[in-house]
Structure 1
Amino acid sequence: MTTILHIAASPRGAASQSAKLAETYLDARRAAEPGVGIDRLDLWQAELPEFDGDKAAAKMTFFGQGEMDGPRRSAWDQITAIAGRFIEADEYVLSVPMWNGGIPYKLKQYIDIITQPGLLFGFDPENGYRGLLEGRTARVFYTAGVYSPGAPARYGADHHSTYLGWWLDFIGVAQVETVRLQPSLMTADPAGDQARALARAAELPLQMA
């Protein structure tokens, strides 16, 4: 059975445009594949630990700096427990609003917790980094209230999809489909943009089939 992990990065609940897109996709996916398992991770309700000094020190032991002592082992166990839920999924659905040109800080915190050597990526001095999650797929739903692709620079920059695209590639997730709902103040038909984005989200499972 396919397991989908839906990572909700907006705190707005049912009012979130990115969540509406993701839920439209997931509803269509359930209809196309009734046996699919969906695990929803609301980052604003999850208990995410701080990535503090012990966790950073535990990470660096994989690069030959220090030893995995008691406090570091305890910190690493926290990380592996959170990362395990991510690793067990076959597909990732991310609903992500743009905040100040980038991603919400809760999503960045989550990424910093789980993106660890031996879990999501490997490293060797000769070949550098390699992602460990080959074979997974991702569906990313991007929204913004001001920024829109092609808008003048005064309407903002995209450190939103560019960052997440880099991160997914870094951890080995190469099959990524995106849906955008990013009307700017110059958009002539925002309601039409929304309808088209929802239709695109609903069509994705059919394209996959």
Structure 2
Amino acid sequence: MTKLLFIKASPRGAESKSGALASAYLARLQETSPGIETDILDLSQEALPDYDGDKVAAKMNVITGQDQNNPQRSAWDQISSLAQRFIAADIYLIASPMWNGSIPYRLKQYIDLIHQPGLLWGLEPETGYFGLLENKRAVLALTSGAYGPEMPSPAFGVDYQSSYLRFWLNQAGVKNIAELRFQPSLLTQDPEGDFQAAIARAQTLAS
């Protein structure tokens, strides 16, 4: 059975345009693929642990092949549990607004927690990083208030949102990535019309 992990990065709940865009994609996908299993991860509601010194030490010990002490082992078990939920999915549906040119801090915290050696990536001294995820795909539902690809940059912002998410997913081994955009939502003359057009694009992609 195909598993989809729906990651919501916005804390705005029902007011979130990125969440609504992703939900439109998911609803159509569920119509066309009724057997799909959906796991919803709302980062504004999820109790994410701090990425503290024990977790950093545990990561470095994994990289260098050293033993972990009890606090580090406990920290690594916590990280592994979070990462396994991500690894178990076949499709990643990530709904994210743009915050200060990049992604919300809770999404970055989640990525920092799960993007770990031996879980999502490996490293060869001579050739560099390689991803451990295989046969996965991702859909990014991206929104912003003032930035848009057609707007002059950097006057209206710089896109570290999609570029960062693509970099992270690529490093983990996810190469099949599609984007759904509603940008810029505050500068268009007909924002509702543009949003409905974005919804239609999401439904077409899911079909």
Secondary structure in 2 aligned to 1:140?
strand
Are the equivalent residues in 2 in contact too, given 1:92–1:137 (CA < 8 A)? Answer: yes
**Aligned: 1:33 with 2:33:** yes
Q: Distance in 1 between matches of 2:118 and 2:105?
A: 24
Match of 1:3 in 2: 3
Q: Distance in 2 between matches of 1:184 and 1:194?
A: 8
User: Where does the alignment leave 5 or more consecutive residues of structure 2 unmatched?
Assistant: none
Computed over aligned residues only, the root mean square deviation of the Cα atoms, in angstroms, reads: 1.2
**Pairing 1:67-86 to 2, within 5 Å after superposition:** 67-86=67-86
Deviations 1:167-208 (A, max 9, x none): 1111010001100001265433322221111001111122xx
AA at the equivalent of 1:169 = N
Match of 2:54 in 1: 54
Are the equivalent residues in 1 in contact too, given 2:143–2:185 (CA < 8 A)? Answer: no
Q: Distance in 2 between matches of 1:126 and 1:155?
A: 40
AA at the equivalent of 1:87 = I
AA at the equivalent of 1:25 = Y
Q: Distance in 2 between matches of 1:15 and 1:190?
A: 14
Q: Distance in 2 between matches of 1:91 and 1:17?
A: 21
Bigger mean CA offset, 61-70 vs 99-108: 61-70
Are the equivalent residues in 1 in contact too, given 2:182–2:198 (CA < 8 A)? Answer: yes
Bigger mean CA offset, 96-105 vs 175-184: 175-184
Match of 1:124 in 2: 124
Secondary structure in 1 aligned to 2:155?
helix
Deviation at 1:128, TM superposition (A): 1.1
TM-score (norm 1): 0.95
The number of residues matched between the two structures is 206
Deviations 1:13-55 (A, max 9, x none): 1110000011101110110011100000000111100000000
Secondary structure in 1 aligned to 2:92?
strand
Are the equivalent residues in 1 in contact too, given 2:5–2:92 (CA < 8 A)? Answer: yes
Percent identity over the alignment is: 52
Secondary structure in 2 aligned to 1:19?
helix
**Pairing 1:150-165 to 2, within 5 Å after superposition:** 150-152=150-152, 153-165=154-166
**Pairing 1:1-209 to 2, within 5 Å after superposition:** 1-64=1-64, 66-152=66-152, 153-183=154-184, 186-206=187-207
TM-score (norm 2): 0.96
Distance 1:62 1:47, change over 3 A: same
Are the equivalent residues in 2 in contact too, given 1:18–1:96 (CA < 8 A)? Answer: yes
Are the equivalent residues in 2 in contact too, given 1:57–1:66 (CA < 8 A)? Answer: no
AA at the equivalent of 1:20 = A
AA at the equivalent of 2:130 = R
Secondary structure in 2 aligned to 1:29?
helix
Deviation at 1:101, TM superposition (A): 0.7
Are the equivalent residues in 2 in contact too, given 1:142–1:180 (CA < 8 A)? Answer: yes
Deviation at 1:78, TM superposition (A): 0.3
AA at the equivalent of 2:118 = G
Runs (4 or more) in structure 1 with deviation over 6 Å come to none
User: Where does the alignment leave 5 or more consecutive residues of structure 1 unmatched?
Assistant: none
